[in-house]
Structures are given as structure tokens and as C-alpha cells.
Structure 1
């Protein structure tokens, strides 16, 4: 079979893109009122949740990079990140910020590290695959409490999501094994904190910007990125509404139902899978409205898979962010599929043990205060900063352990190993 010529492929893409654009415009003309209302809904989500939640993190991350704090963490966490994930130590900063703040800050920081030459293209593709994750406050507040009215379900979602993410990071270390890598830091016998401080000082001098200029640049860059993210959220809100109005959503549900039935998942969850294919919040909401006769473990497995997949809305945001670098979107998309499968599978097999533990330890009665919080509290950025510091502290402890082991091994077991 003769391969398709590049010219013909380009012409097919042009026709396809033109047809999609024409279809979208015609749909907006046919359903102007629905498009307007869904646009307002997307705008409200962006303005009340996404913008205040991500803006402080975007600004803080730009300042930390400018002042060399990322280089400091890179030196400290090099013994942990490179052996485990085959990425430099600076990747730990992206991991901590991504876990604490959620989509799409992991992609944003990965692209920034690539622009600064701190990671290679291959390392960037590995890093963004497992650091661009959902944040715990979304899984606890919006999904567990907001949709399912049971905060204990958030424990299962968080455990499955992050265990699957770390497993994915270990799997992605085999991505392009012969790909280019950044060189490790030069050998230095001085104390690792001293080496980190030196790296931070050199990075700050190389940047050269004062606090005022750095703050202004950070705010400008962050707001520009958030405006793009807001545009994607609003546009996909409209697209989802229009697809539902013209019946395409029902066709997709009918197409996916036999597949779910084949793998033992109730077909009542087909609508949540299709909704989550486009947007994670909508997918989780639809799953929470599935009739009660469907076992809750199946619902949570689908929700967990949907959150890990992250939806086409987040995918579009990530593709836009990565387009400014040579990091490819393809490996990220494949990684999202793997993450979704892993998260759903872990949720299903860990359902009984975690539920048994929560009931036996009476942990389900502890977070009662979450039920009394006002609706937007789950996105409070100060709580996200607390999560970020906790994650950095955990990574620091793991790194300290790895460093001490390296010193002990080199001193006492060098000849035997």
C-alpha cells in the first residue's frame, strides 16, 4: 500500500479543519441563545474559580524561577528525580506545583523550564505527562462534596489519582530512552544545601531583573496565559452545549455503550464518559446523577478515569502552552489515556480496602467542616499553597534520605557495590 503523499495529507487536513470551523459557525447561528448561555456559564467558571485559583500560583512560580529558587530545588532533589523519573531535579518544582494547583500549571511550568534550557525536549515530554494533574481540593470539594455529598470519596479519588500519576511517571522514564538529556550537576563534595544556594545565586545573577520588574513581568505573563485558558473554557462550554443540542452526544453515547458493556461497566455511565471526554467537571456531575442502582464503585472508577484524562478542554490548553516549545503534544495525549486507565483501575481495585479502612478508623466523620464551607472555598488559593508546601516537604524528606544513603553507600559500601 502506497503511503499518502504529504501534499494530499495537507489538503485533507485543510478540508477537515474548514469543515469543522464551518460546522461550528452554523451551529452557533442555529442555537444563538444556548450558545450565549453556555458561554456565560464558562465565563463564570473561569472568573470565579480558575482565575483566582491559578493566578497566585502562576505569579509565584515566575518569581521563584526568576530568583533561582527552582535551581536551588533542582540541586536538592536531583538524587530523587533523575533515578526515578529520568528528569532533572528542577522537575520536582513542577511536580509540587502541579499537584497542589492542578491543571494546567504543570504544562505551563514544564514549558517554562524548556524555554530556559533547564530540561531537554524528551525530559519535558516525560515531565509534563505526570505533573499536569488535578488538584486535591477539586477532587475533595467539587467532586466528593459538591456532586456526591460524601467527603470520604475524595480520599479514594486522591489516592488513585496520585498513585496512578507516579506510576505513569515511572513508565514514562522509558519514553525515548536514547533521547537527549541535560547533564547532571558537576560533582561537588560540599554540603548539598551549600550547593543549592550557590546554584540559586548564579541563577539570580544570570536573570538580572529586580523584584519590581520581575513582579511586573510575572503578572503580565500570568494574566496573558489565563486569558487564553479562559477562552478555551468558554469555547468548549459552547461546543459541549451545541453538540448536545444537535444530537451528536447521543450518537457518541450509543457508540460507546457496547464497549463499556464488554468490559463490565454499566451502560448507564456512558453519558458521563462522553461528557468527561470533553470536560472533567461535567463528566463528574453527570456520573453523580446516574441512578442509585448502579454500584458506587463503578461511578467512582469512571469519575477517576475522567479526572485523569482531563478532557479536551484541558488538552487544548496544554497543546497551546506546549506549542511555544518543541515539546510534542502526542506523548502527552497518550500519557493521559494511560493515566485514565490506571486511575480508574486503581480506584476499582482499591475501593473495598480504602472504604473498610475509612469506616473502621471512623475517618468519615473527621472532615465535617468541609460540608459547612461555602461553595467557592474549595478553590481558595491559600489552601493550595499549604498543599504545595506539604508536597515540597515530602519531596525534601525523600531527597534527604536519598542523599544520606548515597553518602553512606559511597563511604562504607563502595567496594562491595
Structure 2
């Protein structure tokens, strides 16, 4: 009852603030819309559709079965938890939370195991890190790969430490003794998922596009609402607070954008570290998504919020540690970039200049090439979904 009254009061307060400052609220929502339309929508639509197809054709089930032994040995979780981790690490928020809640409802995992699995699987999508942040915000997908590596490394380290602190016996994965080798079990899971889905390819493709557009519309709504909240709260924040802190606490997309265009004395590595920290935390909006996913279970949001803070700090540190060696391997710093050094800065890295959302690099000109790549990936997925089950389930 108290929570309902609190949310009702906050909603009325937000509406009142928008009425009191309509111009600023409109400009903020327009900025959120611009970022979403220029970067998020064209960058994610083809690949979110591909992820929907992967789930329909059993690709995610195949991956989840393959990593089930790692879930048991490294994270002290049942083998079935591999599916939740595969969903969370491919589809992003809130797919991992939904899968973790489903396993908890089915008593496949205990409450303690469910909490650890929720913290491990509720992850930002790699598409956001590679396409939205790397290609869209930073104009270099390789930099997005470095950020993704730091976010993943932080999650794995936190998950391993969390597992070592637990004192539970791991239950064996169901059906492990009857289905033979790991590859055969993975192929069987893939075939079973495809059979259970039962839709034709045409309908599956249409449903995948429709579902992806629905998810992107929801993301756009979150971004616009959160952008308005950030703009309305800015006058209440201390002047010394960096501009990326408030949006980073509320919503990961606009927080990552604010961190990407901020002027850091340490140069690009610090921009990347801040982005990794914001994406690892996910913002309050991602916690609300997780809360909705786990409703009806005994899984709590407080341990998840605590682990998100731990992962955020680890991701920040990991980015600074791996930046120089990994960028050297990927050769992502071309000689043609003019570099500069400021007091406290790092020589050899470009210092990003703040840009407005209206001047944001757009992914729309690359849509033809993205769609060709998408068509090729769909063809590979179809071939794999046909060949793998036949080859390994004989």
C-alpha cells in the first residue's frame, strides 16, 4: 500500500513538473527521441529480429546447453541456468531476469541460486555495446568491443566471487545422464525448441520483426521519459556533479550517451570506463524491468541492485586495465587521428568534444549494408538449425 501511494505521488509530481516547465520537458524528450531514432532503432532492429529468430530456431537453447557444465562448475548453478545466462547475454534486459524468474517458479533453482543467477544473467545486450555505443556514440565498433569485454569480465568476476561465497550443493542438470554427449544434448535441445515453436519460416520472420519493433518502441519510451526526468531534476543537483551521473543512474542509453560526449581529462579511456560502468549498472529503469520480471517470485531486488553496483565498479576498473593492451591488439587507434594532451590527460588518445544530440552520427545510411548482413546471418541460422540437429541427434 505504501509503495502504491509513493508511486502515485511521484507520478503526480512528475506531471506537475512537466506542466510547470513544458519547454524543457519537450526539449528533453526530443533529445531522447533523436538518440533513439538516429542510433538505437536502425542499429538494433535487424539484430533484435535475428535474436528472436535464434530463439525460435533453438539457437539460444543450443548455446545454453553448451554452457551448462560451466554453470555447474564455475557458478555452482544447475545446468538449466545456462539457458537464462544465454538469453540474458544475447537479448539483454530483461530477458535474463525473465528466464531466472521462470526457473525459480519451477523450483529448478533455490532462492539463493535464483538471486545469483539473476545478478549474472540480467545483463546489457551486446548489440547495445557494439552497435549503439561503439558504432553510434563513439563511431568505432572496436571501442564498443573493448567496453563489452570489460562489462562481461566484471560480470564473470562478480559471479565467480558470489558463487564461492555460497554454500549450496549443485543439482545435476535434468536429463544429463540420458542424452549422451554435450553436443548431442545441445543439438537435441535445438531440435526440441524448433519443434515446440512449430511456426513456418515466414510467420517466424514476421513475428520476429513485430516483436523487435515492439521492444524498440518500449526502449524509446523509456529513453524519452527518463530524459525528461533527468532534465527536470538537473536544477536540484549540485553544480559540481558531472553531467553523466544523473542520466547514468536513471537510464543506461542516455547515460552512456552523456558519458560518451563528456570531456574527460584522461581522454577516451576514461570515457569508455564511464560508459562500461553505466552499462553494467543498467540504471534504475533496468531494475524496474527486473522487478516486473521477477514479480510473483521470492527473488528480491535489493541483492540485484547491490551486485549491479559491484559490477559497475569492476567494469570501470577493468576498462582502464584492458584498454591499452586490447586496443593495441585491435589496432583501433589509427595514426590519422589527431591526438592531444592536457594536464592530467593521457597522451596518444583523442579527447572527445561534446556534441549535441541533433549532430549525432546516424546509422540510417548504413541500413542497406546492415540488412544484407542480416539476410546472410539469417541464412546461416536456417542452415545451422537444419544441419546440426540431423548431424548430432542420429
TM over 0.5: yes
Mapped to 1, the partners of 2:57 and 2:149 lie a distance apart of 33
- Give 1:23's aligned residue: 13
Deviation at 1:340, TM superposition (A): 0.3
- Give 2:232's aligned residue: 242
Deviation at 1:338, TM superposition (A): 0.9
Deviation at 1:297, TM superposition (A): 4.2
- Structure 1 pair 149–318 and aligned structure 2 pair: CA distance change class (3 A): same
Q: Which stretch has the larger CA shift, 83-92 or 216-225?
A: 216-225
Matching of residue 307 in structure 1 with residue 279 in structure 2: yes
Matching of residue 275 in structure 1 with residue 247 in structure 2: yes
Q: What secondary structure, in the 3-state scheme, does the structure 1 residue paired with 2:243 have?
A: helix
Matching of residue 337 in structure 1 with residue 327 in structure 2: no
Mapped to 2, the partners of 1:58 and 1:36 lie a distance apart of 29
Mapped to 2, the partners of 1:367 and 1:117 lie a distance apart of 57
Deviation at 1:93, TM superposition (A): 4.5
Encode CA deviations 1:166-204: one digit per residue, 9 max, x unaligned: 112223335764499675434248343334444555666
Q: 2:363 aligns with which of 376, 395, 400?
A: 376
Larger radius of gyration: 1
Give the conservation status (yes or no) of the 8 Å contact 2:92–2:122. yes
Q: What secondary structure, in the 3-state scheme, does the structure 2 residue paired with 1:271 have?
A: coil
Q: Matched residue pairs, number?
A: 353
Mapped to 2, the partners of 1:343 and 1:88 lie a distance apart of 26
Give the conservation status (yes or no) of the 8 Å contact 1:71–1:199. yes
- Structure 1 pair 52–363 and aligned structure 2 pair: CA distance change class (3 A): closer
Matching of residue 168 in structure 1 with residue 158 in structure 2: yes
Q: 2:122 aligns with which of 125, 132, 144?
A: 132
Q: What secondary structure, in the 3-state scheme, does the structure 2 residue paired with 1:85 have?
A: coil
Mapped to 1, the partners of 2:177 and 2:186 lie a distance apart of 13
TM-score (norm 1): 0.65
Give the conservation status (yes or no) of the 8 Å contact 1:120–1:181. no
- Give 1:408's aligned residue: none
Matching of residue 321 in structure 1 with residue 293 in structure 2: yes
Mapped to 2, the partners of 1:230 and 1:217 lie a distance apart of 20
- Give 1:287's aligned residue: 259
Encode CA deviations 1:134-191: one digit per residue, 9 max, x unaligned: 3455445544565456666445423322211211222333576449967543424834
Mapped to 2, the partners of 1:320 and 1:344 lie a distance apart of 28
Mapped to 1, the partners of 2:335 and 2:296 lie a distance apart of 45
- Structure 1 pair 122–219 and aligned structure 2 pair: CA distance change class (3 A): farther
Structure 2 unmatched runs, 5+: 338-360, 385-394
Deviation at 1:280, TM superposition (A): 2.9
Mapped to 2, the partners of 1:367 and 1:98 lie a distance apart of 38
CA RMSD after TM alignment: 4.5
- Give 2:319's aligned residue: 347
Q: What secondary structure, in the 3-state scheme, does the structure 1 residue paired with 2:150 have?
A: helix
Give the conservation status (yes or no) of the 8 Å contact 2:77–2:170. no
- Structure 1 pair 93–60 and aligned structure 2 pair: CA distance change class (3 A): farther
- Structure 1 pair 349–23 and aligned structure 2 pair: CA distance change class (3 A): same
Mapped to 2, the partners of 1:331 and 1:25 lie a distance apart of 31
Mapped to 1, the partners of 2:96 and 2:55 lie a distance apart of 14
Give the conservation status (yes or no) of the 8 Å contact 1:75–1:89. yes
Give the conservation status (yes or no) of the 8 Å contact 2:61–2:193. yes
Give the conservation status (yes or no) of the 8 Å contact 2:179–2:185. no
